[in-house]
Amino acid sequence: MVLSMTGFGRSEVSHGAYHITAEIRSVNNRYLDLNIKLPRKLGAAEAEVRSLIKRYVRRGKTDVYITCVNEEGGDARVRYNRVIAEEYLRSLQQMSQDFGMENDVRLATLARFPDVFTMEDETVDENEIVPGVLQAVEQACRQFTEAREREGGFLRTDLLDKLGLLEESVSFIRDRSPMIVEEYKKNLRARIADLASDVQIDEARLTTEITIFADKICVDEELVRLGSHIAQVRDALDHGDDKDGIGRRLDFIAQEMNREANTILSKSTDKEIADCGIGLKTTIEKIREQIQNIE
């Protein structure tokens, strides 16, 4: 199965008095970068949430947002701080005496002073609410995985098409290479004849020269390795069950494919093979770009 590193999943769950929402989204990243945003009152549940998500995600920058709302309106309470109110009132009375002014402070005025009233989050029984949070996260993870599978299917199809182009190029170079040696042999004979038509051609020397040339431009090993790399990519796309994902392995293989293409180009003395080699490199680069999207 091919999984894209880009995906989105969302779930809503009603659990007792609470309405819980979980959202998961991810983009490409070389490693797993997992960021979880939980309400402060559920901070102790982060380890369980993280462990659950790691069952579904192995690579990518993944952001998880979880909200939890008490539908009965009990998320926060107003707290009256009597000690602070008494301190304010005592200070105002002292000011009235010090300056001989009427103490006209009213209750509404006193209530607006800092910290007389504060909002406090409701104490939550995590044993009661965490199962609902995990349920919401798991449902979001499943939706998230389905989205990545769909995107992964498109990536797989595109990569297989590009592998087909590589195989066509490899086949062309393999068929074209023997012709280059024959053309070189024919041209060498023609040049010798033009330079000295009355001189007998030394066949042994000619054979040695052609052998050296053939060895210099030979790309058989590179073609074999390139064919092997293509087969490995196909196999990974068809049976990719690497516990760490197949993206890293495919990226390494693509680098090796590019190395073989470079060697073929460096050995080429033929315009058609050189053009084909450039096409090889272009297609391999496109393959590498797509592989960056695979987990």
The model's pLDDT over 130-145, given as tens digits with 9 standing for 90+, comes to 999 999 999 999 999 9
Identify the band that residue 109 occupies on the pLDDT scale cut at 50, 70 and 90. Answer: confident
The answer to whether the CB of 246 falls within 8 A of the CB of 235 is no
> What is d(CA 225, CA 157) in angstroms, rounded to the nearest whole number?
23
Asked whether residue 92 is domain-assigned, the answer is yes
Q: Between β-strands 18-27 and 7-15, what pairing exists: parallel, antiparallel or unpaired?
A: antiparallel
Please name which of 80, 102, 84 lies closest in space to residue 93, comparing C-alpha atoms: 102
Structurally, how many domains does the chain consist of?
Answer: 3
> What is d(CA 246, CA 256) in angstroms, rounded to the nearest whole number?
16
Asked whether residue 273 is domain-assigned, the answer is yes
Same domain, 141 and 153: no
Asked whether residue 28 is domain-assigned, the answer is yes
What percent of the chain clears pLDDT 70, i.e. is strictly above it?
84
CA 183-185-191 angle, to 5 degrees, is: 100
**Residue 104's domain spans which residues?**
76-121
The answer to whether the CB of 166 falls within 8 A of the CB of 280 is yes
Same domain, 142 and 12: yes
Same domain, 152 and 280: yes
pLDDT for res 183: 65
Asked whether residue 226 is domain-assigned, the answer is yes
Same domain, 96 and 212: no
pLDDT for res 208: 73
When the pLDDT of each residue in the chain is averaged and rounded to a whole number, the result is 86
Same domain, 176 and 281: yes
Asked whether residue 2 is domain-assigned, the answer is no
Asked whether residue 246 is domain-assigned, the answer is yes
Asked whether residue 44 is domain-assigned, the answer is yes
Same domain, 26 and 138: yes
H helix intervals, 196-246: 203-217, 220-239
pTM, whole model, 2 decimals? 0.71
Between 173 and 126, the more confident residue is 173
